[in-house]
Structure 1
Amino acid sequence: MARMTQTTHPTRLERHTTAAGAEVAVLTVAHGTLNLFDRALFDAVIADITALVAAPPRAVLIRAEGKVVSGGVDVHLFDGLDAGQGAQLWQDLFAQIIHPLEALPCPVVFAAHGLTLTAAFEISLACDIVLAAPGAKFGLVETVVGLTPSMGGPQRLAERAGSGRARELVMTGDLYDAETLRSWGVVNAVHEDVDSAARALADRLADGPTRAHDATKQIIGAWRSGGVAHADSETPDVSGALFGTDDLKGAVRSFLTVGPGKASYTGR
């Protein structure tokens, strides 16, 4: 947690097309030395996610520029809030950032090249795949202002690493390195050049069967909300719908004609 004033535009949302013709969106945080989450950065991220929801690409990469991913949240946001206003703040951030990010119908990759604190860490946990550099460090340090992480961090940590690890990380407010979090299942992989690795992965996923990736997210989302039985009940319709897609039909024909691994996909 820290204090900061910033006037330049805090983010960039850029789109490019892979060699195979798939669109990838790259959301970059570039908000001063510490990339602090003040009102301007929150508003910019909300606007970017709104744009992604309105026109989804076939993969998204979230990254940051500068020495750190983020030094945390500008504590001015919390000054003077009463209980009702505090509850409304978190409701808005769930509704405008975390939930729509998780619901995007495509893979979402997060790249952490350095220190990743509080809101940035919680946003990473709403992504599908988290990649980190060896020197990256992560922390939910809200205890320094008498708060608990409230953008979904504790519960998503518990899902990935177990409830005991989640309580430890949140209650101690300590920093954890990338390799430790990889061993816990929070970080998916550690790469020396994490930005290049993340860009390559986003492009690779974008070139894949986007509708099938969305189905995977829906089935895992059903498990998260209701367990295995609920996911089982949702899977036939979610997966069955894929048989009506051009991608599945084309990939089956490709498999039968020239063998596995040679199909190309359009996202339809």
Structure 2
Amino acid sequence: MTSSTENLPPARLERSTTEAGAPVAVLTFDAPPLNLFGQAMFDAVTAAVADLVANPPRALLLRAEGKVVSAGVDVHVFDGLTVEQGAELWRTLFTRIIQPLETLPCPVVFAAHGLTLTAAFEIALACDIVLAGPRAKFGLVETVVGLTPSMGGPQRLAERAGSGRARELVMTGDLYDAATLNDWGVVNAVHDDVDAAARELTARLADGPTRAHDATKRIVSAWRSGGIEHADSVTPEVSGALFGTDDLKGAVRSFLDVGPGKATYTGR
């Protein structure tokens, strides 16, 4: 007999609204006891990301149930792959999870309450803001199977912490606590109740000027791909378009009429 728990998907996408009516989405990893990234988890996350791309919320939270965020990838995924199949695996994970998640037109928050290894850590590094609990630990430990992290972890870690730190973390395969990665700039903040803090931040961001948040992401993305000069070159068009949004028009009028901090936003 199969239990009802075994019938549940290993990752689920839930949608709701803030008190102000802004649409929010929460993607939860829930495949006890270890939340391993096997084929079923990858498929569930891929489907959720496709849903988010088709219908973006105004903010997204990624989180996990259980004692750990994830103990890593189910090594069965790698067993017997040819060189071509290995390359195709990474291409698929980039194009269907990492890159679409990274380019969602809304803020994306990741909450890590416990152990966060390999694929889950690489997904976190593709998010805009990473929050952690004081007991969270992070690692890219692919060296245990003779592999290097290949879902964008090394390069995104290098962007946040520097290339020397990225090489250290990947080559040693050691675990690093939340306080250390906060000092390195990888984790944005550490909270005793990280789930509550992450939900509060996600709601706050969802209630904000969504089009402006998307513009921020696009300008930063331009810097990542081409440096300051390239980011400067795209900023006038990207930021200029905001003057056609209801949110900017309303916020400017609100500022002039009643002062700062009183505007409300619709995401339009």
Using the TM superposition, give the Cα deviation of residue 8 of structure 1 relative to its aligned residue in structure 2, in angstroms: 3.6
1:172 corresponding residue in structure 2: 172
Using the TM superposition, give the Cα deviation of residue 9 of structure 1 relative to its aligned residue in structure 2, in angstroms: 1.2
1:129 corresponding residue in structure 2: 129
1:264 corresponding residue in structure 2: 264
Question: 2-side partners of 1:7 and 1:19: how far apart?
Answer: 32
1:163 corresponding residue in structure 2: 163
Query: What does 1:115-154 align with in structure 2 at a 5 Å threshold?
Result: 115-154=115-154
Sequence identity percentage: 79
Question: 1-side partners of 2:77 and 2:19: how far apart?
Answer: 43
Q: How many residues align?
A: 263
Question: 2-side partners of 1:58 and 1:48: how far apart?
Answer: 16
Q: Deviations over 1:164-204 (max 9, x none)?
A: 00000000000000000000000000000000000000000
Query: What does 1:65-84 align with in structure 2 at a 5 Å threshold?
Result: 65-84=65-84
1:62 corresponding residue in structure 2: 62
Question: 2-side partners of 1:205 and 1:263: how far apart?
Answer: 14
Please tell me the residue identity of whatever aligns with 2:260: P
Q: Deviations over 1:127-154 (max 9, x none)?
A: 0000000000000000000000000000
Question: 1-side partners of 2:80 and 2:61: how far apart?
Answer: 35
Using the TM superposition, give the Cα deviation of residue 264 of structure 1 relative to its aligned residue in structure 2, in angstroms: 0.1
TM-score by length of 2: 0.97
Secondary structure, counterpart of 2:50 in structure 1: helix
1:106 paired to 2:106: yes
Secondary structure, counterpart of 2:21 in structure 1: coil
Secondary structure, counterpart of 1:262 in structure 2: coil
Please tell me the residue identity of whatever aligns with 2:231: A
2:3 corresponding residue in structure 1: none
Please tell me the residue identity of whatever aligns with 1:122: E
Stretches of structure 2 lacking an aligned partner (at least 5 in a row): 1-5
2:33 corresponding residue in structure 1: 33
Please tell me the residue identity of whatever aligns with 1:167: R
Stretches of structure 1 lacking an aligned partner (at least 5 in a row): 1-5
Question: 2-side partners of 1:25 and 1:266: how far apart?
Answer: 16
Using the TM superposition, give the Cα deviation of residue 11 of structure 1 relative to its aligned residue in structure 2, in angstroms: 1.3
Secondary structure, counterpart of 2:123 in structure 1: helix
2:201 corresponding residue in structure 1: 201
Question: 2-side partners of 1:177 and 1:68: how far apart?
Answer: 14
Query: What does 1:10-29 align with in structure 2 at a 5 Å threshold?
Result: 10-29=10-29
Secondary structure, counterpart of 2:61 in structure 1: strand
Using the TM superposition, give the Cα deviation of residue 7 of structure 1 relative to its aligned residue in structure 2, in angstroms: 5.7
Secondary structure, counterpart of 2:111 in structure 1: strand
1:86 corresponding residue in structure 2: 86
